[in-house]
Amino acid sequence: MRVSSNRLAAESSPYLLQHKDNPVDWRPWGPEAFAAARELGKPLLLSIGYSTCHWCHVMERESFSDPAVAAVMNRHFICVKLDREERPDVDRVYMTAVQALTGQGGWPLNVFLTPELEPFFGGTYFPPSARWGQPGWTQLLERVAGLWRERRADVESDARRLAQSVRGWVAEVGEARVKPAADILSRADAAFAGAFDPDQAGFGGAPKFPMPAYQRYLLRRAARTGDARTGRLAVESLRAMARGGIFDQVGGGFHRYSTDAEWRVPHFEKMLYDNAQLLENLADAVLLTRDAELARALTRTAAYLTRDLRGAHGGFFSAEDADSLPPEFADRLDGAAHAEKKEGAFYLWTAAELDAALGEGAAAFRARHGVEADGNAAHDPHGEFVGRNILFDLAPSAQDEAAAEGARAVLLSRRALRPRPGLDDKCLAAWNGLALSGLSRAYLATGDPALLSAAQAAADFLRRELSSADGRTLHRSWRCGARSGEGLADDYAYVAAGLLDLYEADFDPARLRWALTLLSEAVRRFAAPGGGLFQTAEGGAPELFARALEDRDGVEPSASAVLADAALRLHALTGRGELRRFADEALERFGGDAGERPLSRAYLLSVLDRALASPRTALIAGLDLPGGRELLAAARARLRPDVFVAGFTAETQGALSEILPAATQMRLADRAGAYLCVGGACGLPVFSAAELTSRLDA
C-alpha cells in the first residue's frame, strides 16, 4: 500500500480522508495553503466535494489517483481539498463564481484561485481525457498553468472583477425593502400550481428533487386557509415519492433525487437533511389528512433514520453513499474490489434474488414492485443497473400491507449481508437540528414514544458535544469524540427551531431557554444590516472576499427564514419585541423577491403566512391535572401552523414563568385550563376540549 504523501491524514472530515492517499499533494483549506501560494507565486486549485458525492468518487478514481496526473497538479498548483458540508460558506462563494463563469454548478467543484483567493476559472467534473465536449483534466491543467505564466497580470485583473461581482451577488447589495402583504401568498400559490407536474407530481422535470421547503409551505398554507387544492400539491408529491424508486422500498428513507421525472430511477445517496425535512413534512401531511399511506411512509422514514443514521451517542450521522460493492464482492475487500463499486448496488435486486428470498410470496411482491426478469431501469446511462431491479410500489393497499411488510423484513435481513455503502459519520449541528424537528413532529403525528426519545437524545447530544458549557456557542461538526469548526448561521437557526419543536413535544422549559439563547446569539453574531443573517459571523471567515447572506432555500432552508420563524413562535409566547422585529425585518428585506420568485423562498413564504395569521400560543396549565390530557389532545388534534403549544405542571410552572411571566399568575386548582396567548398576553382560561377547539379554529 502506498504511504500517504499528502497532508490530509490528520483531518477529521470523511471526505478529506477519502483523499489522504492520493498522490496529489492535497492540503486542507487554511492559512498554510494560502501562505504557500503567496510564497511560491502559484495559483490554488480548490477542489470541493463531500464524502457521498458520486462524481467526486469518479474524478478521484480517474484523475486524482493517477500519479502522472497528480504530478501535473503538484507542479503547477497549490492543491486544496474542502468538505462543502463543513464549510458551506466557502462553497457558496466559489460556486457562485463558477456559475457566473460557466452557467452551471455542482460537485466536485474545481476552481482556480489567485494567491489572494480570488477565482478566475472553474468547473465541476472533468474527464481524464477530452469527451462530451469537455477538455481532458490534464489538458485543462496545462492550459490554465500556461495562462498563469504568460498572462498573470490579466488573470489577476479578471479575478478581481469577478470577485467584486460575486461579492454583490451573494450579499444582495441594494435589495429593495418591501412590506409584504397577503397578495404575495396568493401569487405564490398560483406559481406553485403552475410548476406542479400534474402527471407524476412534484415540481419540474428530470432530474426531479424532493424540494421539502415547497411541501412545507403548501401543507401549512392549506391548513391555515382550508384550500384543499394547495394541500393536494404537497400530498400528491409526497405520495408519489413514497411509491417511487426514490423511496427505499425495503429499508425506508429517501434517496437524494430522481434522475427521471417519474420518481423511478434515483441517485442513490441518502442525506440526513433530506430525510429529516421529509419526515417533518410527512408528519404535517398526516396531521392534515390522516392519510394511512403517508403514515406508513412516515413510520418507515423514521425507522431508517433511527436505525441507520443514528449513533450510539444519540446524534445523527450525515449521509450514506450512493456507491457500494455489488453483492458478489461481499467477501473481497482488496483494491480490485474497491474499484468495482457501483451506484445503487446495495439497493438493487435481480428477479432470481427475490424469488429465492421470498418463496411463494415472490410473485405478488414482484408484481406490486415492478420487477422484471431482465431488470426494470428505465434508463441506465452508465450500465450499472443491467439485469437488476429498482423497487417501486405500483399498487399500495392496506389490504396486503401485512404481506408486504413481512416481505420487506425478509429482504432487509438479506440486504444486511451485502457490503454497505460508505457512511459519512460526522455529525453536523445544523442537520441534527433538522432531525430534532422531524422526529418531534413525527411524534406529534404518531404518538410513538420511541420517536420522542430519539429527539431528546439528539438534543442531549447537541448540548453535550456541539455546544459550549453556557449554551451560547455552537460548533459545526463532531466526529469520533472531537468537535471542529465554528458554528454557522444555519447551525444556530436549525437547532433553535428544532428545540422549539421538541418543546412542543415534551414541554421541558430548558428547551425554550436554550432556543432563546441560540436565537439571541444568532442575531448578535450573524445579523445583516437591513434584515436576515449572513452565513458567517463577522470575522469568522476572514480569508473570504465575500460574506454571503442566508437568503434563499436550496436543498436546505434559508437560515434567515428558519430563524425568523422561530422568532415569531417565541414572540407569540413571550411578547419580546426584539423577536418580532427580527422576523419583520427579514420579511421586509426578502419579501419582495419572494413575491417575484416564490419557488426560491418557499420557507420564507411559510414565515409570512404565519406572520399574517397573528401567531398564537395555546398554553395548557396543569398538564398532569384532570382534563389536561384532553386539552392537550385538542390542541394537537390537527395541523395549526399559527399555533404554538406550550404547557406546564406544578413542577415546571416556575421555570416557564421565567420566560412567560404571565404563567406566574395562573393558579392551578383541581382541573387543567387552557389559555390563548398573543404576544405574551393571555386571555381567560377555557376548561373543555370542545371550547378550546372552537377558539383555536376561530
| Whether pLDDT at 492 is above 50 | yes
Range in 10-24, 173-187, 305-319, 487-501 with the lowest mean pLDDT: 173-187
For residue 477, is pLDDT > 70? yes
- CATH code linked to domain 14-171: 3.40.30.10
Question: Residue 1 above 50 pLDDT?
Answer: no
> Band of the pLDDT at 596, cuts 50, 70, 90?
confident
Are 499 and 456 in contact, with CB atoms under 8 Å apart?
no
Q: What percent of the chain has pLDDT over 70?
A: 97
Which residues, listed in sequence order, are joined to residue 533 by a DSSP beta bridge?
Answer: 527, 550
Contacts of 113 (CB under 8 A, 6+ apart): 37, 43, 44, 45, 46, 94, 119, 120, 159
The pLDDT value given to residue 331: 67
pLDDT at position 5: 66
Over residues 370-379, the pLDDT tens digits come to 999 999 998 8
547 and 560 Cβ atoms separated by less than 8 Å: no
For residues 260-278, give the mean pLDDT: 97
Per-residue pLDDT tens for 11-47? 999 999 999 999 999 999 999 999 999 999 999 999 9
Residue 333 has pLDDT above 80, yes or no: no
Alpha carbons 269 and 257: distance in angstroms, whole number: 9
- The gap from C-alpha 124 to its chain's centroid, in whole angstroms, comes to 22
Residue with cell 401568498: 185
**pLDDT confidence of 321, banded at 50, 70, 90?**
very high
Residue 2 has pLDDT above 60, yes or no: no
Grid cell of 153 as nine digits = 497580470
Query: Residue 334: what pLDDT?
Result: 53
Q: pLDDT tens-digit profile of 642-666?
A: 999 999 999 999 999 999 988 988 9
pLDDT score, position 338 = 54
Please check the confidence at residue 337 and state whether its pLDDT lies above 60: no
**CATH 3.40.30.10 residue window(s) in the chain:** 14-171
> How confident is residue 680, by pLDDT bands cut at 50, 70 and 90?
confident
Is residue 400 very low, low, confident or very high in pLDDT (cuts 50, 70, 90)?
Answer: confident
Cα dist. 405→301, 365, 397, 476 in Å?
14, 10, 12, 38
Q: Average pLDDT, whole number, for the chain? A: 94
What average pLDDT does range 113-136 have in this prediction?
Answer: 92
**Percentage above 90 pLDDT, the chain:** 87
pLDDT tens digits, one per residue of 511-566: 999 999 999 999 999 999 989 999 999 999 999 999 999 989 989 999 999 999 99
What is the pLDDT, as a whole number, of residue 665?
Answer: 86
Could you tell me where the beta strands, DSSP code E, fall in 426-481? 427-428, 475-479
- Read off the DSSP letter of residue 2: P
Which position has the higher pLDDT, 358 or 382?
358
pLDDT of residue 628: 97
Written as one string, the DSSP assignment of 566-592 is: HHHHHHHHH--HHHHHHHHHHHHHHHH
489-508 average pLDDT score: 98
95 pLDDT band, cuts 50/70/90, is very high
pLDDT above 50: residue 3:
no
- Rounded to the nearest 5°, which phi and psi values hold at 47? -115, 115
The phi, psi pair for 617, rounded to 5°, reads -115, 130
For residues 531 and 591, the answer to whether their CB atoms sit within 8 Å is no
- pLDDT tens figures, 251-266: 999 999 999 999 999 9
